[in-house]
Amino acid sequence: MSTTADAIRSADAHSAHNYHPLPLVVASAEGAWMTDVEGRRYLDMLAGYSALNFGHGNRRLIDAARAQLERVTLTSRAFHHDRFAEFCTELAALCGKEMVLPMNTGAEAVETAVKTARKWGYEVKGVPDGHAKIVVAADNFHGRTTTVVSFSTDHDARDHFGPYTPGFEIVPYGDLTALAHAVTENTVAVLLEPIQGEAGVLVPPAGYLRGVRELTRERNVLFMADEIQSGLGRTGRTFACEHEGVVPDVYILGKALGGGVVPVSAVVADRDVLGVFRPGQHGSTFGGNPLACAVALEVISMLRTGEFQGRATELGEHLHRELNLLVGGGAVTAVRGRGLWAGVDIDPSRGTGREISEKLMELGVLVKDTHGSTIRIAPPLVISKEDLDWGLSQLRSVLGA
Ligand SMILES: *Cc1c(COP(=O)(O)O)cnc(C)c1O
């Protein structure tokens, strides 16, 4: 019996089946490449859903983590520590905002944004207590907690997890008219992904984010951008909102902020918004811990140079050019995305997204399917052009294109 089959069998026996991983067992990784327990190598074209924008085992990030491991890793927020102020200052500056509220996972940051918006609504906007509404988009993905799945439209994510948290209004993504109708005097926030990742890398119609910005400003509603997957270099900009020259009131960050090393998330906004919190009203034992701050500071300093955004732009143009050549040839029906991020709709005659992902895995390329016939491509931003081309050639051969 192979090591791989053994490892998968015992994972199946002792872990909850809340995921359906591809049948490989990773033992190590470096840059854009992973090696499995049997020594086979795979090109990682998923990058932990953008948690690994800087690649596996990035030297600068590992060194920053290692140095911090030797000093102090956790204090809880009961005490100050000497990386905290620096982290908050630098992250706020990267976002052009004044304040940071650090958490750990993306879902926690979304929860934090929801709490922020409600408190702001009651204490600043003057919405009657208990009546705050937040408008979200259909087909969103904002995480897995009970409140967050309360406003999901995905049956798998939502069914049998009720009773659901009230106070959310769902409108079609990309539809400004529907959004304008949904906003009332009790609306405290509009919460959106600037590009919907899980939904299949859906880019909204041109002008949508700008329209959301204008509408929310006019109606005194917070625009909260969930940039957990779209942010921090993936689309060729630090934030996907920049493609429309839009600055939201609240950035929600996660994934790549932890450099693929530790979970780090944050809500970033100005003082008139995040200033609503007083001691005891929100928190997290691990949020803003020294190790997290040290790694995130290195991430922020890497983003400051623009190098990774530049790579995402350049390699992304190449990726999209190559993928678009496949459209209409019988194998691919549509390609969407921005920067080094693409959703590729496979013609169902060529197999499901899962089948394509499994075949690609056999050829040494790792991607992930979503929604039946779509595959998602999001390699680490450190991938070389040669490796990207090799991955694309494997995709063409699986598709018979
Ligand atoms: C991944 C993701 C989340 C949830 O992050 P977790 O760290 O998995 O909790 C939320 N929003 C978006 C857009 C994401 O891509």
pLDDT of residue 2: 82
Residue 211 lies in a domain: yes
Q: How far is CA 369 from CA 47, 144, 184, 351, 378, in A?
A: 14, 19, 37, 11, 12
Using the 3D structure, point to which of 273, 304, 335 is the last residue of a domain. 304
Query: What CATH number is associated with residue 318?
Result: 3.90.1150.10
Are 251 and 312 part of one and the same domain? no
pLDDT of residue 372: 84
- CB count in 10 Å sphere of residue 316: 21
Pick the atom of ligand 1 nearest to 105's CA: 7
Rounded Cα distance between 225 and 89, Å, is 20
Residue 65 lies in a domain: no
Are 162 and 143 part of one and the same domain? yes
pLDDT of residue 291: 98
pLDDT tens for 50-91 read 999 999 999 999 999 999 999 999 999 999 999 999 999 999
Residue 383 lies in a domain: yes
Are 182 and 245 part of one and the same domain? yes
pLDDT tens for 261-305 read 999 999 999 999 999 999 999 999 999 999 999 999 999 999 999
Q: How far is CA 388 from CA 32, 48, 55, 313, 385, in A?
A: 10, 17, 14, 14, 5
Are 107 and 96 part of one and the same domain? yes
Å from CA of 225 to ligand 1 middle: 12
106 within ligand 1 shell (Cβ under 6 A): yes
Å from CA of 107 to ligand 1 middle: 6
The alpha helices in 75-168, defined as continuous H runs, are 84-95, 106-120, 146-150, 155-158
Q: Atom 8 in ligand 1: which residue has the minimum CA distance?
A: 106
Are 213 and 336 part of one and the same domain? no
152 within ligand 1 shell (Cβ under 6 A): no
pLDDT of residue 371: 84
Residue 62 lies in a domain: no
Q: Atom 6 in ligand 1: which residue has the minimum CA distance?
A: 106
Are 328 and 299 part of one and the same domain? no
Q: Atom 10 in ligand 1: which residue has the minimum CA distance?
A: 142
224 within ligand 1 shell (Cβ under 6 A): no
pLDDT of residue 21: 96
| Helix (H) or strand (E) segment spanning residue 192 | strand 187-192
SS3 of residue 324 by DSSP: helix
Are 154 and 195 part of one and the same domain? yes
Using the 3D structure, point to which of 251, 285, 304 is the last residue of a domain. 304
* Domains contained in the chain, number: 2
Rounded Cα distance between 231 and 251, Å, is 9
Q: How far is CA 190 from CA 103, 153, 268, in A?
A: 21, 16, 15
Using the 3D structure, point to which of 275, 304, 333 is the last residue of a domain. 304
Are 198 and 342 part of one and the same domain? no
231 within ligand 1 shell (Cβ under 6 A): no
Rounded Cα distance between 198 and 156, Å, is 13
pLDDT of residue 150: 98
Closest listed residue to residue 267, CA positions, set 78, 84, 108: 108
Please provide the size of the chain in residues: 401
pLDDT of residue 1: 58
Are 238 and 386 part of one and the same domain? no
The values of phi and psi at residue 294, to 5°, are -65, -45
From first to last of the 401 residues of the chain, give the pLDDT tens digit. 589 999 999 999 999 999 999 999 999 999 999 999 999 999 999 999 999 999 999 999 999 999 999 999 999 999 999 999 999 999 999 999 999 999 999 999 999 999 999 999 999 999 999 999 999 999 999 999 999 999 999 999 999 999 999 999 999 999 999 999 999 999 999 999 999 999 999 999 999 999 999 999 999 999 999 999 999 999 999 999 999 999 999 999 999 999 999 999 999 999 999 999 999 999 999 999 999 999 999 999 999 999 999 999 999 999 999 999 999 889 999 999 999 999 999 999 899 999 999 999 999 999 999 988 999 999 999 999 999 999 999 999 999 88
97 within ligand 1 shell (Cβ under 6 A): no
Are 287 and 361 part of one and the same domain? no
Q: Which domain holds residue 312?
A: 4-57+307-399
Tokens coding 369: 């399917």
Å from CA of 254 to ligand 1 middle: 7
Are 136 and 217 part of one and the same domain? yes
Are 356 and 285 part of one and the same domain? no
Å from CA of 143 to ligand 1 middle: 5
pTM: 0.98
Rounded Cα distance between 38 and 186, Å, is 57
Residue 64 lies in a domain: no
Rounded Cα distance between 56 and 23, Å, is 20
The residues assigned a catalytic role are 141, 226, 255
